[in-house]
A and B are shown apart, each in its own frame.
Chain A
Amino acid sequence: MNRIVVALLAVLLAVAPAGARAAGGAITLLNVSYDPTRELYAAYNPLFAAFWKRKTGQDVTVRQSHGGSGAQARAVIEGLEADVVTLALAYDVDAVAQNSSVLARDWQRRLPDASSPYTSTIVFVVRKGNPKHIHDWSDVARSGVSVVTPNPKTSGGARWNFLAAYAYGLKRNHNDETKARTLVAQIYKNAAVLDTGARGSTISFSERQIGDVLIAWENEAFFLQRTSPREGYEIIVPSVSILAEPPVAVVDGNARKHGTEAVAQAYLQFLYSPEAQRLACREGYRPRLTAVLGTCGTRFARSDLVTIANFGGWQAAQAKFFADGGVYDQVYGR
């Protein structure tokens, strides 16, 4: 029996050093991103690595981390040493700038287009044949319609969803805030499940077959159609939606510490190149380059898009709608 104990300990100790692997000689970047970009950056990283190799001869490996946008920003604030962040909304990057010393406050002015190299919007996904006849936000608010959307408290995408619905409510009711609130209250009353992240909602809708309509990022809707071709999911574009601008930023403090400033800068700037814009387009994100948008833009339907500026920017929107006791808490009724 003693021998068993000794053997057990020997095995445990032999395995121990295997966990402590050092990174190789190549440059490593850490990109901390949000939920639905898994596929985008999995495709973009080799494209960038090839570009960087051509340009400098250096090998670069990009590590990925994905999760809810707020959770990811919190991790960076608490010390996750991201070289770059690519999050769902500017509010979360602002939070990193405000709550840590690793990111400059003026980050959003350092890259073109308010540091958002690609955009998206909020659309509906319905089941084959659109059995509940959902065409616009008013249909999503109808009683008897079961809605899948993530929790705005934890999900960046969900906040875009909420604001898109609210914008519709304002436009259709001559900016009457009370009526806009009633509309979003009805939509959230119809919620069948409130997942913590956008991808969780996609999975509830597809894998678990919950709900009649999924309110989702446009890129997420394309992802769902691409990965489940047999289900015949249909994308419905509402008459009013919001232009979602997911921002990117180099986390200066960390990049300086790692000596990766140049490559981190290049990693984000290359997102604006025609090659990368075409890739983003293929992955379902709206490219900023009009030339590229022209070649692949037919898939992006047109609706009346408001922007976050209509709500006074993210700081104001967060305080009014999503903070403790804000509009979301009020309309949720509890």
Chain B
Amino acid sequence: MSCGCTPVRKRLENVGAVLPIVLLLGMLIVVPLIAVLAGAFSAGAGAVAATLRDGAVRDAVLLSVAAAVVAVAFNAAFGLLAGWTIAKYRFAGKALLVTLIDAPLTVSPVIVGLAVLATLGQHTPAGAWLAAHGLRVAFAPAGVALATTLVTFPYVARAVIAQMTAHGRIYEEAALGLGAGPWQTFRRVTFPLARASFLNGLLICNARALGEFGAVTVVSGNVRGLTQTIPLQIADFYDGARVPAAFALAAALAAVAVILALTARLFARRDTSTKGLSA
């Protein structure tokens, strides 16, 4: 960097530029993280361990993991399909399709929950039909998984679409020209190029799925051991005046989510080097 100033001035300028924002973000983001930990350990490490061994917590973890698995698997498969469709073909209405895919990002989770009830609730034709065939959705684990899937729908697709669009279609055209089939082209050419973005989206989607609260609040019914997810269990502990337990579970969930996000960041960084946009 060529700067027409003395090293001391440059150093001072650097500190002036960096320090305030580091302090501000520390105040805004790091202090709350520390507060979660302090809250968790306010009743001692033994209490934290006891909370995490609680039977209700175990059930909540199982449901959250199951819902996240469903959401991530479905959204990952869809993300690849959507990426391929939108990046590699021309068609009318592409902007509309992308808008619809992104919609759940901005629609309030509460409204997404309402949408699940309005589509598959007990009093809707589809919901009644499913219930008659033994699959209850509203206020049942299936509804929790569905709501989670809807809320996290755009995350893999967004990342993959951006990356595949950035690469254009020359590689695919070359592969096809050399005699490869479409599936082979996707597997050998398109997917490897988009893999970093795909994994980034996958992990982000997973973190969001585990922490989903608003939509699940509406469709869950909060039955302990049946439809209670980790975030709902945290709220239940909190309302049960077991605040240290709430923070202990919150800290554990936050730790998992943070690890997922940090891993995702590694993939995202790999992908900015190829000029992809990932938000």
Residues of A within 8 A of B (CB): 1, 4-5, 8-9, 12-13, 15-16, 18-21, 30, 32, 35, 38-39, 63-67, 75, 78-81, 197, 199-200, 202-203, 206-207, 223, 227
Contact = CB atoms under 8 A, between A and B. Distances in A.
A207 B122 contact: no
18 contacts: A5-B199, A13-B73, A16-B69, A18-B66, A19-B66, A35-B239, A38-B240, A64-B224, A66-B222, A67-B222, A75-B139, A75-B222, A78-B117, A79-B127, A80-B138, A81-B139, A200-B239, A202-B241
A78 B139 contact: yes
Nearest to A11: B69
A16 B224 contact: no
Considering the complex of A and B, which 8 residue pairs feature the smallest CB-CB distances, nearest first?
A19-B66, A79-B122, A80-B139, A80-B221, A75-B221, A65-B223, A79-B138, A199-B239
A15 B66 CA distance: 7
Contact of B239 (A30, A32, A80, A203): A203
Contacts of B265: none
A197 B238 CA distance: 12
Contacts of A13: 69, 73
A20 B141 contact: yes
A63 B225 contact: yes
Contact of B224 (A63, A75, A80, A207): A63
A19 B65 contact: yes
B275 interface: no
Contacts of A206: 241
Contacts of B195: 1, 5
Given A15-B65, A67-B222, 8 more contacts: A16-B69, A16-B73, A18-B65, A19-B63, A19-B66, A21-B62, A81-B139, A223-B241
Nearest to B72: A12
Task: Please tell me the size bucket of the interface on B.
Answer: 35 or more
Interface string B66-79: 11011011000000
Contacts of A200: 239
B235 to A, nearest CB: 9
Contacts of A227: 241
Contact of A19 (B67, B221, B223, B224): B67
Contacts of B254: none
Contacts of A39: 240
Interface in B40-77: 62-63, 65-67, 69-70, 72-73
A223 to B, nearest CB: 7
A169 to B, nearest CB: 31
Nearest to A195: B239
Contacts of B121: 78-79
A21 B227 CA distance: 12
A64 B239 contact: no
A75 B240 CA distance: 20
Contact of A203 (B73, B138, B199, B238): B238
B190 to A, nearest CB: 14
Contacts of A202: 241
B117 A66 contact: no
Contacts of A32: 221, 223
A223 B240 CA distance: 11
A67 B221 CA distance: 9
Contacts of B102: none
B189 to A, nearest CB: 14
B243 interface: yes
B86 interface: no
Most chain B beta-carbon contacts within 10 A, residue among A13, A19, A202, A207: A19
Interface in B180-231: 192, 195, 199, 202, 221-226
Most chain B beta-carbon contacts within 10 A, residue among A16, A35, A78, A199: A78
Contact of A12 (B73, B139, B222): B73
A83 to B, nearest CB: 11
B88 interface: no
A12 B72 CA distance: 9
A18 B62 CA distance: 7
Nearest to A68: B239
A13 B70 CA distance: 9
